[in-house]
Amino acid sequence: MYKTLLSFILLSSLMLQASDILPSWNEGTSKKDIISYVSAVTDEKSKDFIPKKDRIAVFDNDGTLWSEQPAYFQLFFIMDRIKTLAPQHPEWKTKEPFASALKGDLKGALKNGMEGLMALVMATHAGMTDEAFDDIVIEWIKTAKHPTKNVHYSELVFQPMLELLDYLRANDFKTFIVSGGGIDFMRPFASEVYGIPSNQIVGSSIEVKYENKKITRLPKFRFNDDKAGKPVAIHYHIGKRPVAAFGNSDGDFDMMKYTEANEKYKTLQLYVHHTDEKREWAYDRKSHIGKFDKGLDYAKEHNWTIVDMKNDWKVVYPFELKK
Amino acid sequence: MYKTLLSFILLSSLMLQASDILPSWNEGTSKKDIISYVSAVTDEKSKDFIPKKDRIAVFDNDGTLWSEQPAYFQLFFIMDRIKTLAPQHPEWKTKEPFASALKGDLKGALKNGMEGLMALVMATHAGMTDEAFDDIVIEWIKTAKHPTKNVHYSELVFQPMLELLDYLRANDFKTFIVSGGGIDFMRPFASEVYGIPSNQIVGSSIEVKYENKKITRLPKFRFNDDKAGKPVAIHYHIGKRPVAAFGNSDGDFDMMKYTEANEKYKTLQLYVHHTDEKREWAYDRKSHIGKFDKGLDYAKEHNWTIVDMKNDWKVVYPFELKK
């Protein structure tokens, strides 16, 4: 009797588990890869077992955890801020890249490449305390809307990836964001949206100084958390090699190869491939944003998991669940 | 009957708690300050309640969590490494600061100040992968012994501070080290010794590069995590203002004032005052290492907690408990 009861409880719990894991993922190779990896490395009897303290999972943000089209969302933040600040800067009306930005002409504003971009970044990201900047970002994320999807930017996170983050944390992984985006742009809202504490959110940064009990943001670039910068940022912020890495573009390729080269533990590398032009966007090798070319070839050759967004995901965004 | 039972259980649990909290701390102002702070900010009904996500506690390391006399322990690591590496560098026999270091003459090795120190740091901390450096540190911490105490350096951590770290974590504080010491020198052993994960250990750093799937350490100084550098490091690594700060010297003063200036929450500032020349060392205003002068005046004026090591601590080191 006792044994029957026990079997029943175990069976129910297994069934519950199976139906609960990654509910927005269709059955298929991607879902199977994730579950079999997590099962192997969390099973104490497995040769692939990883102690909890070393279960480090790193996620790119733009294009991996939320959308990044038609331009990185931080660029829309910049354009919106330029408009808000324009009355204090009458000279912007005739001065590039501000003049183009004020007309909403992103392409024109960025036609001089990094130089124009940096001018826009510094005009909108520096000159205030860290806490004042937090408030600016929070206000924007609560009010601004995506130009074509017409919803708040924080609604454009990927439901299947939220489930993946939860699933990993439920299995005692520590989840980190390692993004080319601004560290201080992400932190004010990403903690709440993704359930990742601010100290586990890593990104590009500008210089700051401490004076009069305050941190003030300075108009000087400090660190580019992209490509080879990602493993460097992982070194400083995490201090150990990850075991699982999640990205969507060639910008994440170094971070993923760095993870793959973990000599101590079995690893998982997963690329989100943007294949869904209907629900999201479809782009890869030739895209200006989120270019996915070398990484795609390597991923195929090395049997990394490549998520086919169109076929692997039941829904893309959380709001689809409410329909 | 039910009520009596409930009272009994509550009473027992309170008594257990009181005797279990900070057992190596003598009853007195310091212990009372800590417990009343933690009780206030973790009580949901209190006006001082702090949500778990914002319970950020920052600790200096040298002189706060372990001893720092007669010199920072990382300096002994450097001196030991110079001796180990000497056979590969015959030129060191006649070249300063190496010649003095090889004779065990720390004062001579450092007589040119930062220049000599940096030469010693780079000769011992750069030129290998991050993982190789981890192994070097772990081997050293396992084998090297303190010149006068004749025990391993990791045995010279402060038992009352270990209890304080545990107590804070039991109350859902996230504990961080923010030290002038090397981030990569601390991480390989401090996680185990203090129960603090590597990503919550912050310190001074040298540059690194990513190449061929490896992080290599470069002979170039990057960040000095001391004085005004501490709030800056907190900004990048933690991303929010702490509510509790623990230090022992003027090097921690900025971090503690930054914490005190938290406008959202009640804060705690605690200074460890080295007053025990018998069990540890006694030093403050005039000490070359761990100078504690401006901070001491300010702490007294502003009613910060000042731990009198001699009178507040039943034991200093964990090994005293085993005697």
- By percentage, how much of chain A surpasses pLDDT 90? 92
| The pLDDT of residue B302 | 97
Would you say B203 and B185 are in contact if contact means Cβ atoms under 8 Å apart? Answer: yes
* Number of other residues whose CB lies within 10 A of the CB of residue B51: 10
Average pLDDT score, chain A:
94
Nearest-Cα residue of chain A relative to residue B53 = A197
Query: CA–CA separation, A227 vs A131, rounded Å?
Result: 29
Residue ranges of chain B with per-residue pLDDT less than 50: 16
* Contact call for A239 and B184, based on CB within 8 A: yes
* Number of other residues whose CB lies within 10 A of the CB of residue A99: 16
Sort out which chain B residues have CB atoms less than 8 A from A208's CB and list them.
Answer: 232, 235-236
| The pLDDT of residue B17 | 54
Which helix (DSSP H) or strand (DSSP E) does residue A66 occupy?
none
Sort out which chain A residues have CB atoms less than 8 A from B228's CB and list them.
Answer: 209-211
Contacts for B274 with CB less than 8 Å, ≥ 6 apart: B63, B248, B280, B281, B282, B283, B284, B290, B292, B309
Would you say B253 and B295 are in contact if contact means Cβ atoms under 8 Å apart? Answer: yes
Chain B: give the shortest CA distance to residue A103, in Å.
Answer: 34
| The pLDDT of residue B322 | 82
Sort out which chain A residues have CB atoms less than 8 A from B239's CB and list them.
Answer: 183-184, 187, 198-199, 201
Q: Which member of B174, B231, B238 has the closest CB to residue A210?
A: B231
| Secondary structure string (H, E, C) spanning B71-98 | CCHHHHHHHHHHHHHHHHCHHHHCCCCH
| The pLDDT of residue B32 | 97
| The pLDDT of residue B57 | 98
Contacts for A87 with CB less than 8 Å, ≥ 6 apart: none
| pTM for the structure as a whole | 0.94
Residue ranges of chain A with per-residue pLDDT less than 50: 16
| The pLDDT of residue A219 | 97
> What pLDDT digit, counting tens, does each position of A237-260 carry?
999 999 999 999 999 999 999 999
Q: Is the ipTM of this complex over 0.85?
A: yes
Q: Which two tokens mark A112?
A: 């001089």
Chain B: give the shortest CA distance to residue A50, in Å.
Answer: 16
What's the Cα-to-Cα distance from B151 to each of A265, B147, B275, rounded to whole Å? 34, 8, 21
Q: Cis (ω within 30 of 0) for the bond into A70?
A: yes
